[in-house]
Structure 1
Amino acid sequence: MPAADVRRGDGEDVADFIESLCTVTKDTFAGPSGSPLTLRGWQHDLLGHLFARRKDGRRRHRVALIGEPRKNGKSGLGAGIALDGLFDGMGAEVYSCAGDKEQARIVFGDARRMVEASPDLSAAIKCYKDALEVVDTGSVYRCLSAEAFTKEGLSPTRVLFDELHVQPNPDLWNVMALAAGARLDPMLIGITTAGVKSDSTGKDSICYRLFQYGQRLAAGEEVDPSFFMAWWGAPDDADHRRPETWQMANPAYGDLIDPEDFEAAVKRTPEAEFRTKRLNQWVNTAETWLPAGSWDACRGELDAISDHVEVCLGFDGSFNGDSTALVVVSCPVDGEAPHVDVVEAWERPAEAGPGWTVPILDVEAAIRAACRRWDVREIVCDPYRWGRTYQVLEDEGLPIVEFPQSPARMIPATTRFYEAVMNRTVTHSGDPRLARHLANCVVRTDSRGSRLSKDAKHSPRKIDLAISAVMALERACQEPEPEPEPQFFSWADL
């Protein structure tokens, strides 16, 4: 983010408002109830980036996702941001939203207690049971929950979603986002810890979808200055029992948070819950395929496979809905580990409508270009839905090899890939798209063995790059079929 956008923004003004008028509402490790709410340096930086402004004076961000483990001061900061929003122009509408009524009242309750404890705020704001009102400007602050879904007619200027990960579905978020469309520089802010990846519908939760979107922006896969994400958490492969990990994940560790609380909690809290609530790590509702950190540990020194090297291409595609993937794996020579990289991936863009389809001609062109770049032993593919393309490429003389994704083929291929990762006998170039697809894979096991699947049947998480890599590695590690011996005949033999 440009530093100039931060300097011309409202972050310091919001911080001054909170520190001047807001108070601690409960006795905590950070201080007694009623003491001034003193922001830390990292919170000042957060507000500076959150409330940045562009050269034209408009706010840079409209949607924000802020992720922190529990007890890092989310509720107090959220309440301060909400109260500041009450003074953001005439007729402001501020809302605290949550998955249920009890959760929705947490931030609102903190804000109300701050008003009652401050002579200046209580002089300007009138308190009701379920609302705060600035009478002079007609601005109002209310709390809403997903349980009472009658939100049409609202026109929010600032919305705080507390613990966004527990929203049962995306409906409330979508309604508030659409309702803010008529406002100048509205802000929709989710402040949350991590959780499970799926909501009550079995699909990716709105929180996890936003988290993945933020990851793609950070990796440079997409560009969207209107979206902001700040996420504190431990790496997936970190030892959750070590104090160094606790400190790494929690910006307020040893300040707002008592280290002794972690020492007690880690002994009595299930690992998955400790990782989500205290380390801010996402967990699947099913068993993850690759252990945390194992794929990153296989990162090699190569940024790409050299031209003219013998390789196998793995292709997994669909016309719409899912993504389409093309992966390259080098064939091992003289004891060298095979290397995995992404050639290309086609995913539905965020702004695309329901009629979007995979650009078939672009896919075919990418396969031809890969065959010109490398010495392609095989193009490994599942013939389902792409029979025409395979026939066209095969007619051009390209080495198409069908690899139906049946249990008989995928179970041993999945096992080979898993063992290669765990034994570090495979390397890769660190492509974030492939890492994301591998992280989306879970194991489904039946009487025939284990194979890959999405976490939920209709989950939008993509795994096509992972499937392509598994197929390509399986064929790259096989000994090539021997060339048929030439046979010679004489007229006497005929």
Structure 2
Amino acid sequence: MEGIDPVIARHIPADAPSPSEGYRVAAWIEAFCYLTGSFAGRRFTLLAWQRDLLVDAYRLERDSFGRWRRKHRMAVVCIARKNGKSTLAAAIMLYHLIADRADTQRQIIAAANDRNQARMVFDAAKQMVTASPKLSAVCDVQRDVIRYKDSTYRVVSADAGRQQGLNPSAVSLDEYAFSRTADLFDALTLGSAARNEPMTWVVSTAGPDPDGPFAQLCERGERVNSGEADDPTLFYRSWGPKLGAQVDHLDPEVWKACNPSFEILNAEDFKAAAQRSTEASFRIYRLSQFVRGASTWLPHGLWDSLAVDDALSPGDAVVLGFDGSWKGDSTALVAARVADLRVFVLGHWEAPPDDAHWRVPMADVREALRSALETYAVRTLVADPYRWEETLENLEAEGYPVEAFPTNSLKRMVPATQAVYDAARDGRLSHDGSPALARHIGNAVLREDKYGARITKEFAASRRKIDLAVAMILSVHGAVMWREENPGLIDAPVVATWEDDGQVFAVGGSAEFFDDL
């Protein structure tokens, strides 16, 4: 603990796996804060999940100068209602107002989409101060501001207009899921750049807009937690089902898993709420689940259960699936090993959420395609030709087995989707555990009409990409078809291909065998 502020260090247990200011935050809340509402007058005794949340969110690490500083500058918490999130947020903000040693003249903000919602956290903080003899002795409580020495804690909201000129050292943004724009969020987070160690808490229940700014922030957090994205300043915690997951909303075990305070909640109230509320409302407010307007493609947990720790080896017989784009979207290259239908992501190029001018690095994609064709025994490259016709024609002219598969052809996508679903359901398909592929599969919804069922985005302008899922379907379906058409050549390398009457044929085995023919 050498070099850590001694006031913070004395609260860190000797056996702590890593230093965290969260131990001091927790001790301060329990020493000075009182509960509100039904538990008014009781000292704030943190639940286990609340203590763990504080410890994890306030981790300390050394900066480039060797100083111990907060690792995270933003904590995003997606949690169902009735779990005491507003009370906890109020206590955290009081800590920053009075006890935060990272700043001196502090500006604390309670914010939300509308003023009434913003006041919920702020009013809880006011009640805590009033209930505590020690806090009320040092704080001046007014209608819209709490003052401690030269520091202030005030309330702002999006419906009061654009909030400019703010320089917050700590912010609690409540129920962000119901904001249609990121204007207030941007004003609050960009305004704290001059602060030493600013901390923003975004605490919200999931909402009815799976494509809104809070849903995007949660998706970013999921990508950071899975290792797909690198953002050490962002801390994310959620107990609700992942976007696209399917859970039984009437199952008490699901209620318990989605509500970390369930041990002190009334199970009978959940049962009554499930009966009198619409399913969508119950999922949003009691499970903190983003609700979308279409059915997800794969049953909950199925894709995760098919993950295998394995690697693709040079020379393995594969079918490649390719779904390309050129700007503002995602391009995907996936391999399905013919022998066991195991899926591997070989390339993925996706537009960053905040870059409207991003273009696919076409040279890198072409290089990845050629590398895959040269490294593995590629039975077929199954590719959507849209915007990549020239590249695919050149590869085919060089002798590589290319099959054009327009993904907008319902006659082809419907049976392909069904074949891959069957392979996943029957356990014949497995994969390398790619978090990006899992995310794209979770984003895919099933559209059913008179033509059949196939995967698609929830709506055309959705920012949730599914291209890796599409490329996976092309590769696995292609591998299934190749196995059926060539039952004796599944494990043999391809040594020759040719086309006859619009069909591509392949010969496997050794080169000597081909010469004998």
The two structures have a TM-score, normalised by structure 2, of: 0.83
CA distance in 1, matches of 2:393, 2:111: 54
Closer, same or farther: CA 116–475 of 1 in aligned 2, 3 Å: same
Q: Which amino acid counterpart does residue 431 of structure 1 have in structure 2?
A: S
Q: Secondary structure at the match of 1:189?
A: strand
- 1:398 & 1:96 partners in 2: Cα distance? 61
Return closer, same or farther for 1:57/1:5 CA change in 2, 3 Å cut-off: farther
1:438 aligned residue: 441
Paired residue for 1:147?
159
1:287 maps to a residue whose letter is: S
Structure 1 residues 383 and 338: CA distance shift in structure 2, 3 A: same
Alignment of 1:51-450 (within 5 A): 51-55=58-62, 56-87=67-98, 88=100, 89-134=103-148, 136-137=149-150, 139-198=151-210, 204-233=211-240, 236-255=245-264, 257-297=265-305, 299=306, 301=308, 303-331=310-338, 338-349=341-352, 353-405=355-407, 406-450=409-453
State the secondary structure of the residue aligned to 1:90: coil
Following the alignment from structure 2 to structure 1, what is the Cα–Cα distance between the partners of residues 228 and 178?
Answer: 27
C-alpha RMSD over aligned residues: 2.6
Contact 1:234 1:245 in 2 (8 A): no
Q: 1:381, 1:401 within 8 Å by CA — same for their partners in 2?
A: yes
Deviates most, 363-372 or 106-115: 363-372
Q: What is the deviation of 1:401?
A: 1.4
Name the structure 2 match of 1:489: none
CA distance in 2: counterparts of 1:269 and 1:239, whole angstroms: 15
Q: What does residue 499 of structure 2 align with?
A: none
Are the equivalent residues in 2 in contact too, given 1:6–1:51 (CA < 8 A)? no
Do 1:63 and 1:187's aligned partners in 2 also have CA atoms closer than 8 Å?
yes
Matched, 1:452 2:455: yes
Equivalents in 2 of 1:225, 1:5: separation in Å? 20
8 Å CA contact 1:379–1:399 kept in 2: the answer is: yes
Contact 1:442 1:452 in 2 (8 A): yes
State the TM-score, normalizing by the size of structure 1: 0.86
CA contact 1:98–1:104 (8 Å) conserved in 2: yes
Of 154-163 and 263-272, more deviation after overlay is shown by 263-272
Distance change in 2, residues 1:484/1:45 (3 Å): closer
Distance 1:403 1:221 in 2: 29
SS of the equivalent of 1:418 reads helix
Instruction: Give the SS at the match of 2:68.
Output: coil
Task: Name the CA shift for 1:429/1:57 in 2 (closer, same or farther; >3 Å).
Answer: closer
1:212-238 deviation per Cα after TM superposition (whole angstroms, max 9, x unaligned): 222222222222211111222357454
Match of 1:194, as an amino acid? A
CA distance in 1, matches of 2:110, 2:189: 13
Distance 1:300 1:162 in 2: 36
Q: Is the 8 A contact 1:5 1:54 kept in 2?
A: no
Unaligned stretches of 5+ in structure 1? 199-203, 486-494
Provide the C-alpha distance between the structure 1 equivalents of 2:400 and 2:309, rounded to a whole number of angstroms.
Answer: 27
Alignment partners' CA distance in 2, 1:338 and 1:449: 24
Task: Choose from 15, 32, 50 the match for 1:21.
Answer: 32
CA distance in 2 between counterparts of 1:410 and 1:191 reads 40
The sequence identity of aligned pairs, in percent, is 40
Unmatched runs of 5 consecutive residues or more in structure 2 = 1-11, 487-502, 508-517
3-state SS, counterpart of residue 223 of structure 1? coil
Structure 1 residue 78, shift from structure 2 partner: 0.4
Give the deviation of 1:99 after TM superposition. Answer: 2.1
Amino acid at match of 1:412: P
| C-alpha contact 1:157 1:187 (8 A) present in aligned 2 | yes
The offset of 1:79, in angstroms, is 0.5
Counterpart contact for 1:6–1:53, Cα < 8 Å: no
Going from structure 1 to structure 2, the CA distance change for 1:421 and 1:483 (only over 3 Å counts) comes to closer
CA distance in 2, matches of 1:307, 1:163: 50
Deviation for aligned residue 1:7? 5.6
The letter for the 2-side match of 1:410 is: M
Find out whether 1:38 has 2:45 as its counterpart. Answer: yes
Question: Deviation string for 1:135-179 (max 9, x for gaps)?
Answer: x21x22222222222201111111111122122221211111111
Report how many aligned residue pairs link the two structures: 465
Aligned CA distance change for structure 1 residues 112 and 329 (closer, same or farther; 3 Å): same
Q: What's the offset of the Cα at 1:252?
A: 1.9
CA deviations over 1:424-470 (Å, ceiling 9, x no partner): 44322322211110111123344433333222322221111011112
8 A Cα contact 1:234 1:281, kept in partner: yes
Cα distance change on mapping 1:126 and 1:301 into 2, 3 Å: closer
State the AA in 1 paired with 2:237: A
The 1:325/1:484 distance shift into structure 2, 3 A limit, reads: closer
User: Partner letter of residue 19 of structure 1?
Assistant: E
Deviation at 1:356, TM superposition (A): 2.9
CA distance in 1, matches of 2:466, 2:74: 27
d(CA) in 1 for partners of 2:110, 2:379: 58
